Amino acid sequence: MANSAFLELSQVSKSYDGIARAVDGISLDVERGEFVAFLGPSGSGKTSTLSMIAGFENPTEGTIRLASRNLVELKPWQRNVGMVFQNYALFPHMTVSGNVAFPLRMRGIRKVEHERRVGQVLDLVGLSAWAKRYPRELSGGQQQRVALARGLVFRPDLLLLDEPLGALDKNLREQMQIEIKRIHREIGITMIYVTHDQDEAMTMSDRVAVFSGGRIDQIGPPLEVYRRPRTHFVAQFVGDSNLFEVAEIDHRARLVSVPSLGPVSVAEFNQSPAGDRRWLLIRPEDIRLQGAEAAPPLANRFTIQVQDVIHYGSDCLVIGKPSDESTFLRVRVPRREAEAIAPGTQLEVGWETAAGFVV
């Protein structure tokens, strides 16, 4: 493991009952100033891992180091780690300033320093005008900004965020995503962000760690995780996908045989031990309608019968069946191209060789 890593998790495991492992041998390096998202379904181990970094839980096995300090030996308040929760956890009897100043009081920082630091961090989150208000007088987005300010005011080495936007509506959530990313960019703090929302993980983070069954299936830049997933789970969980089991692979000809489609040309193959089941991944936005204006013809072409059309406003998702009745193709189509498409329509669709990836 690289010695330069700011946060290091080495073979960290957690069992709550001594039998099953909620976290199973995770190793992870995070550089200073990185924004890393922990993405995964409920029960995948991401929040348990965050809790061990924060000190709310102790690892059953493994070590956690931050700036070369062994965190496992330290109490939560000794770690200089900030925490932002989904439920805000604000004190209702304290003003915004009082809530934000609370961590300073608990750390014995001189009172004359409180006002200056609180003022700075409230400016950062855009809440200076609300300093004297109480939580009940604030919107959900403003309350989350207070919680964020409280997590930053004592200048932590690391900020942990546990699904902090889960209680907000879509518009507020998108606004807060922009704000958190702006704050990260301005102050350069290291952040670990737990979420089950793929859009949050993909748009906000420098790297995404995809959790499954207590392990990290893949970690990498968002686009790499999306375009080159290492496992079937990552390909299925991250983004919308078409996944077809592969029967045969001809590496030399860069062809795969898919029972429901026939021979398909592909650009890349994931490295996988011999004998593993392999899957062809095609993202719906990479499939196009084969129109008369398309020249040259698309490399992989198929006829589908449309089963359903789902309208999203700017585009549509067309779901259709090729010859195999058990197989569906999901195709992203611009709204203007989907206006004449209805269930029962026969469509010629296809994709370029570069769009195919074998997991």
Rounded to an integer, the average pLDDT of 17-21 is 94
Asked whether residue 176 carries a pLDDT value surpassing 70, the answer given is yes
pLDDT category of residue 1 using cuts at 50, 70 and 90: very low
Residue 342 has pLDDT above 70, yes or no: yes
pLDDT at 318 over 80: yes
pLDDT confidence of residue 171: 86
Return the DSSP state at 299: S
**pLDDT, position 4:** 67
CATH code (residue 49): 3.40.50.300
What residue has token string 């569906």? 328
What residues make up the domain containing 180? 7-227
Number of structural domains (the chain) is 1
Which tokens is 130 given?
């609300």
Establish if 99 belongs to a structural domain. Answer: yes
- Helices marked H in 221-330: 222-227, 232-237
Using pLDDT thresholds of 50, 70 and 90, give the confidence band for residue 273. low
| pLDDT for residue 271 is more than 80 | no
Q: Inform me whether the pLDDT recorded for 147 exceeds 80.
A: yes
Separation of alpha carbons 170 and 186, rounded Å: 24
Weakest-pLDDT range from 106-110, 129-133, 158-162, 184-188: 106-110
DSSP string, 3-21: TT-SEEEEEEEE-SSSSS-
For residue 92, being part of any structural domain is answered with yes
Tell me the per-residue pLDDT of 292-316, one tens digit each, with 9 for 90 and over.
555 567 889 999 999 999 998 889 9
**Residue 335 counted as domain residue:** no
Per-residue pLDDT band at 283 (split at 50, 70, 90): very high
Percent of residues, the chain, with pLDDT higher than 70: 96
- The answer, yes or no, to whether residue 2 has pLDDT greater than 90, is no
Residue 311, domain member (yes or no): no
| 202 in a structural domain | yes
Run of H or E including 282: strand 279-282
pLDDT for 3 beyond 80: no
Residue 315 in any domain: the answer is no
**What value does the mean pLDDT take over residues 81-103?**
93
Classify residue 40: in a domain, yes or no. yes
The pLDDT of 215-221, averaged and rounded, is 97
Using alpha carbons only, give the angle 189, 193, 198 rounded to the nearest 5 degrees.
135
What pLDDT is attached to residue 335?
Answer: 86
Return the higher-pLDDT residue of 337 and 212: 212
How many helices and strands, by DSSP H and E, does the chain display?
A: 9, 22
3-state secondary structure of 350: strand
Supply the pLDDT for residue 323: 75
| 276 pLDDT tier (thresholds 50, 70, 90) | confident
Torsion sign (Cα): 197, 29, 1, 70: negative
Residue 88 lies in a domain: yes
Q: What is the mean pLDDT of the chain?
A: 92
116 and 100 Cβ atoms separated by less than 8 Å: no
